[in-house]
A and B are shown apart, each in its own frame.
Chain A
C-alpha cells in the first residue's frame, strides 16, 4: 500500500529532511511562546506575574527558616511592639509574637492550602465535567444526580462540622476536606462546554479515525476548552485563598497554633486593634488584596493568549 502513495506523489524519502525544514520555517509558534509574548506586551500583567511568583517563592523558602512552635510562644516583653524596630520589623501582636514571621508562615499555609485545593478540586471537577458531558446518556445522568446531591449539602456548615468532629487535623487534611466541596462549580461549567464541544465534527472525525474515548476526551476536547479551564483555575485560586482565610477568620480553619492569613486578619475583630494596633492585621489584608488582584490580571492575559482574536503581543 505504501507503494500506492509513492506512485501518486512525487515526494520520496529523500525529500523528507528538506521538506521538514521548510515546514519548520513556516511553523506556527507554540502555546508557551504565545503566552510569553502576551506577557511581554502587557507590562502590568508582567509585574503581577513577577509579584506572584517571587512572593510565593519568598514565603515558601522563608518559612523553612522559621521555627514555628518557637515563634508562636507567648513573649510578654514584646506585647504590641511597634513595627519597624530591629526585633520586630512589622511589630508584634498581643502575645508578643512577631507579625512579620507569622505573615511569612501564615502566607505559606494559606497559599499552600489554596494551591492544593485548586489543584485537587479543579482536576476532579474538570475530569467529572468532561466525562459527564462527553458520554451523555446514563453516565451523565448518574453523575449529575451525584452533583445535585453535593450541591444540596450546606457547604460551610458541613466543613465546620467535619472540622469539629475530626480530632487532629492539619493543613493537609483541611485541604482534602475543602476539596470535597469545591469541585462542583468547575464541573458544571466544564460539562456544559463539553456538551457543546462533543457535538462538533472534529470529535466525530476522531471517532472515525479510530481514536479511543479517553484520548478524545483528554487530547482532543480538553485542549479546546483550555482557555475556559485556565481562566476558571486562576479565578478559583483567587477564590480559594478566600475560602481558608474566611474559615480561619471565623475560627474553624487551621488550629489556633498554626498561623494563617485568616487568623491574622481575625486580629481586626478587636476594635482596639483596628484603631491602635493596625500592624497586627493590615499587612495580611493588604497581601490578600494585592495577591488576588495580581492573579486576576494574570488570568486575563492567559485568556487573551488562548483566544487568538484578543491577542496584543506579536511574535517573531
Chain B
C-alpha cells in the first residue's frame, strides 16, 4: 500500500458576481488529480505558474477545502477534518511553503516558530523542547544564536532552512515541499536541495516536491507528475518523462530547460522552436474540444499520458516504447 493515495481530487473556487453576488462560475484550480506517493520516495509535481500545484499540495496537508475526491492516509480520508484530528495527521504530514518570508510569523522568535508543532503534538519539557530546537537548527546548518531572533533578520536561504527545520520538527513521514528553492539563487539552491536529500536519507521522509523547473526536479525525484491547468497530463518515472515524453506540454516544459553547454546552444534553440511549431499545429490533437486535457491512459506500467488511447499508442510506438 502506498503512503498516501490521492483520488480524483478537485478543488474549485467559486467566482461570485452580479447584483446578488451569487456564484456564477468557478476557477477549477485542481480538476480531477490522482496519484500515489510511496514511503521514502520523492514525488515530483511539475507545471507552469497557476497550474494548481500549490493548491494540490495544500489539499494534501489539509489546508484547502476540497470540492470532491479523496486523499487516503492509513485507511482514512483526510479531506475530512475529524479524520485529520483522529490521526494527528499533521504530526506525520508537514509542509515547506513556497514563500519562506510570509510563512514565518514576523512577530515570533525562531525558537517559538520551530517549536510550534512540537508544542501541539509532543509533550516535551521546556529543556527537552529547547534542546530539540537547537538540534534542528544544527541539522539545518544554523547557529544557536538564531534561537531568539526574528525572521526578518535572516537571508532568504536561511529562512528556507528555518522552514525546513519546522517541517521536520515532529519527524514526519511526508513533507510537501512547495517550490522550496524557487526564490533562491543557484548556489544556495544546490545547498538546500542537497541538504533536503540528506535529511530524507537520515529520517526516511517522503517528499511531494513541487516545482515549475524540470531541471531541479530531475535532481530530486524518482516519479514525476506533470500538471497543466488543474489536470495531470503525464505521469511516469524520471526516465519516462525525460527520455520518452509523450504529451506536447511535457515536451514544451523540457524544451524550456535552459541549456548550459555553449556548443549545443544552437541545436537546443532549434529543437525548442520545433516543439513550439508542433504545439501550434497539433494543439487540437492533444486537447479536447474545450481545450482541456484528456483523461490519463496507461502506455507502460509506469507511464501514463492524457491522450486518446489510439494517439497515445501511436506516439509511444514512435518513441520506441513498447506496450507491456
List the interface of chain A (C-beta within 8 A of B). Answer: 1-2, 4-13, 15-16, 19-20, 22-28, 200-202, 204-211, 220, 223-224, 226, 308
Q: How far is the CB of A22 from chain B (nearest CB, A)?
A: 5
Choose one: B90, B98, B105, B135; the contact of A11 (CB below 8 Å): B135
Closest 4 A/B residue pairs (Cβ): A27-B148, A210-B120, A23-B147, A26-B145
Most buried by B among A5, A20, A223, A224: A5
B74 at the interface (CB under 8 A from A): no
B63 at the interface (CB under 8 A from A): yes
Contact: B134 with A202, CB < 8 Å?
no
Would you call the interface of chain A mostly helix, strand, loop, or mixed? Answer: helix
Contact: A4 with B171, CB < 8 Å?
yes
- Residues in chain B near residue A201, CB distance under 8 A: 97-99, 102-103
Q: How far is the CB of B160 from chain A (nearest CB, A)?
A: 13
- Residues in chain A near residue B136, CB distance under 8 A: 5, 9
Contact: A200 with B138, CB < 8 Å?
no
Contact: A28 with B109, CB < 8 Å?
yes
Known interface pairs A28-B148, A210-B121, A308-B152. Does A19 touch B134 (Cβ–Cβ under 8 Å)?
A: yes
Q: Please, how many angstroms separate the alpha-carbon atoms of A153 and B102 in the complex?
A: 40
Can you list 24 A-B contacts (CB < 8 A)?
A4-B202, A8-B202, A13-B127, A22-B145, A23-B147, A27-B147, A28-B150, A28-B153, A201-B99, A202-B104, A202-B105, A202-B106, A204-B58, A204-B97, A205-B97, A205-B104, A208-B90, A208-B94, A208-B95, A210-B117, A211-B120, A224-B105, A224-B107, A226-B107
B131 at the interface (CB under 8 A from A): yes
Q: How far is the CB of A301 from chain B (nearest CB, A)?
A: 19
What is the chain A residue whose CB lies nearest that of B95?
Answer: A208
- Residues in chain A near residue B106, CB distance under 8 A: 202, 224
Q: How far is the CB of A58 from chain B (nearest CB, A)?
A: 36
Chain B stretch 101-124: residues in CB contact (< 8 A) with chain A: 102-109, 116-117, 120-121
Known interface pairs A27-B148, A200-B102. Does A11 touch B153 (Cβ–Cβ under 8 Å)?
A: no
Interface string of B124-161 (1 = CB under 8 A from A): 00011011101110110000111111101100000000
Choose one: A8, A25, A205; the contact of B166 (CB below 8 Å): A205
Known interface pairs A19-B144, A26-B145, A28-B153. Does A9 touch B95 (Cβ–Cβ under 8 Å)?
A: no
